[in-house]
Structure 1
Amino acid sequence: MTHPAPSVLSAADTARALPYPALAREIEALLRDPAVVVPARIVQALPGGGSLFVMPAVDARVAITKLITFTPDNAGRGLPSIQGDIVVFDVATGRRVAILDGPTVTARRTAAVSLLAAQKLARRTDGPLLIVGAGVQGRAHLEAFHAGLGLREVWVASRNPASADALVRHAQALGLRARRVDDADAALADCPLVVSTTPAQQVALRAMPALDAFVAAVGAFTPAMVEWDAAICRRLAAEGTLVVDTRDADHEAGDLLQAGIDVAALPTLADVVGGTAAWTGQAARRASGPVFFKSCGWGGWDLAAARCMTRLAP
């Protein structure tokens, strides 16, 4: 008896299978699904400073394993910093049904998580959106916020002016007003939406966001990484609202951990979606200060991508 071969999706195929609004909805559905099980991910250090990530996850219908490498120095080699695949299995039969492009899923599910958080937490969604870091995640967040928020204007800051200009042109091609800014700290005061997607090898932002701002801090996803100044993080904890993507952030949110913040006491995106006591006790503070959403990554987001792909497959 023969079985159909698994679909091997290219980067372009994977992107088409994961439209941002649908993926954000699937992430919200996953956070409400009691059948989801996500073991702790394995992070194996590699010689030369890279890391190997092994991330399984399962629900009642789909099982996945994500295998990717993260090599920060690849930017200087002209290679992607994230490489690998996500293998998707049918739970009932154990059959491998698809192989997704790992970097594409990582970019899109991370941006879709930020989109969902912005849909739930942002007070203004038209912009300007300040994107700090004009790489893969900067582009993915631009596209996600454009597709899911009704964004009208974007400002881009990057250490590499050419990268910033390229992302500005992409935004303009999407029909947005867009420009490059050379001082991200100064721009924060005028932007109700902020996304930081830097390589997180050093502090990139040292100013306070606007009082009505929603910030998605994405770049730092290990305890050693940092994008936001520690003093600013402490001010945000005192004057605004901090939310983390999952409880994995308790030991991975470099920005907050290095600032001495008790991350384990913060509400998660699941608390926001579910309206739990952990969130409702802090929700009133949204009216008086910025919302800072710290995203570190989780295998459940990749499971959501696999679920989205299988639901939309012809």
Structure 2
Amino acid sequence: MLLAPSLTSLGVLDAAATAARLPWSDLADEIAALLQDHTVAVPPRAVLPLAQGGSLFVMPATDQSVAMTKLITFTPGNAGTGRPSIQGDVVVFDIATGERRLVLDGPTVTARRTAAVSLLAARHLAQTPQGPLLIVGAGVQGLAHAEAFIHGLGVREVWIASRSSASAEALAAQVRALGAQVRVVADADAAVPHCPLIATCTTASAVVLSAPPRPDAFVAAVGAFTPAMAELAPALCQHAARHGRIVVDTSDALHEAGDLLQAGLDVAALPTLADVVSGLSAAAPTHHSGPVLFKSCGWAGWDLAAARLALRHASPTTSATRSSTTTPA
């Protein structure tokens, strides 16, 4: 009797198999390479509002050999229900043949490439990359950033702040399993003076961080991705602009970086991560040069980098588990 081919053999990867193809350091390296690849084309993403406050995201991108589209739904109403806020897939095609090569788990790609972008930025911009690291928000992006910074920067101490103590303790257990020391704190602002690395990874429905960062701080803000959303207080952003520097992930932040727009900053004048990676920006840290705020809004190019890497990596494991994240773009 002939057996039906498995989904994995057909190139449809679940969450675990997708993650296995996207190691942290390799993914950060692939993102850096993509930023210097002039064949990459990324049109604006399409965002279709859905009933009951949800959104459908369609995010295509291509280079000279690979084309992909991320198709995901973002459903804020799923928070706290046990259902993922983000669901969907990344479909990867070979340009020469038109063949569909892979279908990757969309939430897993989103989580890993977002944290890998923060890792790449920290490699270039963090003055004290060993940490401690403060994570604000105990969702999937909080765990992804902890993993990325532990594996990619050698961080060994992580502080966690969340509106939900149960979520904070659950994330703390996961981070301890990675070999890091963990401290759960009730007040994120009170932890800021102790942590030169900060990642805000919330749903960005309200400001979660107000305290001005220390002079050697690197802050990655990844939760807000529309003009109406903000994790950081305007005064914090203005402090970073006056006393340090601000870098955005792409020029799309001009229309999407709610934290910076609500602070009244000229987002169009800010350097991008591509400027930093290519050495075209003066944003690289110098001794006592002030805090660095890295504002990440998301870009289909990051998903293309993940697709390129996934095509090259063999998948050692599979699982039926799907994952979720709180940063859809």
TM-score interval, smaller chain: over 0.9
**Residue aligning to 1:312:** 313
Moved over 6 A (4+): none
Q: Is the 8 A contact 1:5 1:97 kept in 2?
A: no
Cα displacement (A) at 1:125: 1.6
Give the residue type in structure 2 aligned to 1:227. Answer: E
* DSSP 3-state at the match of 1:76: coil
Matches within 5 A, 1:139-218: 139-218=143-222
Percent identity over paired residues: 65
Q: 1:34 to 1:241 in 2, by over 3 A?
A: same
**Residue aligning to 2:123:** 119
Matches within 5 A, 1:21-36: 21-36=25-40
Matches within 5 A, 1:10-49: 10-49=14-53
Separation of aligned partners in 2, 1:51 and 1:136: 19
**Residue aligning to 1:256:** 260
* DSSP 3-state at the match of 2:252: helix
Cα displacement (A) at 1:285: 6.5
Give the residue type in structure 2 aligned to 1:253. Answer: A
Q: 1:128 to 1:284 in 2, by over 3 A?
A: closer
Of residues 232, 240, 245, the one that matches 2:249 is 245
Separation of aligned partners in 1, 2:301 and 2:21: 17
Gaps spanning 5+ residues in structure 1: where? Answer: none
Q: 1:286 to 1:160 in 2, by over 3 A?
A: farther
Q: Is the 8 A contact 2:125 2:284 kept in 1?
A: no
Separation of aligned partners in 2, 1:313 and 1:305: 13
Give the residue type in structure 2 aligned to 1:220. Answer: A
Q: In proportion to residue count, which structure has more helix?
A: 1
Matches within 5 A, 1:213-292: 213-276=217-280, 279-280=281-282, 282-283=283-284, 287-292=288-293
Q: Is the 8 A contact 2:125 2:285 kept in 1?
A: no
Separation of aligned partners in 1, 2:290 and 2:77: 37
Cα displacement (A) at 1:169: 1.2
Cα displacement (A) at 1:129: 0.2
* DSSP 3-state at the match of 1:124: coil
Q: Is the 8 A contact 1:6 1:96 kept in 2?
A: no
Cα displacement (A) at 1:124: 1.1
Separation of aligned partners in 1, 2:208 and 2:71: 29
Give the residue type in structure 1 aligned to 2:152. Answer: G
* DSSP 3-state at the match of 2:53: coil
How many pairs does the alignment contain?
A: 308
Cα displacement (A) at 1:284: 6.2
Give the residue type in structure 1 aligned to 2:104. Answer: L
Separation of aligned partners in 2, 1:77 and 1:177: 30
Cα displacement (A) at 1:121: 0.6
Of residues 87, 94, 111, the one that matches 1:90 is 94
**Residues 1:130 and 2:134 aligned together:** yes
Separation of aligned partners in 1, 2:9 and 2:187: 51
Q: TM-score, normalised by structure 1?
A: 0.96
Give the residue type in structure 1 aligned to 2:38. Answer: P
**Residue aligning to 1:295:** 296
Q: Is the 8 A contact 1:142 1:171 kept in 2?
A: yes
* DSSP 3-state at the match of 1:242: strand
Question: Higher RCO, 1 or 2 (CA under 8 Å, sep at least 6)?
Answer: 2
Separation of aligned partners in 2, 1:165 and 1:289: 32
Q: Is the 8 A contact 2:132 2:157 kept in 1?
A: yes
Separation of aligned partners in 2, 1:177 and 1:285: 29
* DSSP 3-state at the match of 1:143: helix
Instruction: Encode CA deviations 1:44-75: one digit per residue, 9 max, x unaligned.
Output: 11111111100000001110011001111111
Give the residue type in structure 1 aligned to 2:306. Answer: A
Q: Is the 8 A contact 1:241 1:286 kept in 2?
A: no
Q: Is the 8 A contact 2:124 2:284 kept in 1?
A: no
Give the residue type in structure 2 aligned to 1:154. Answer: V
Q: Is the 8 A contact 2:133 2:197 kept in 1?
A: yes
Give the residue type in structure 2 aligned to 1:288. Answer: S
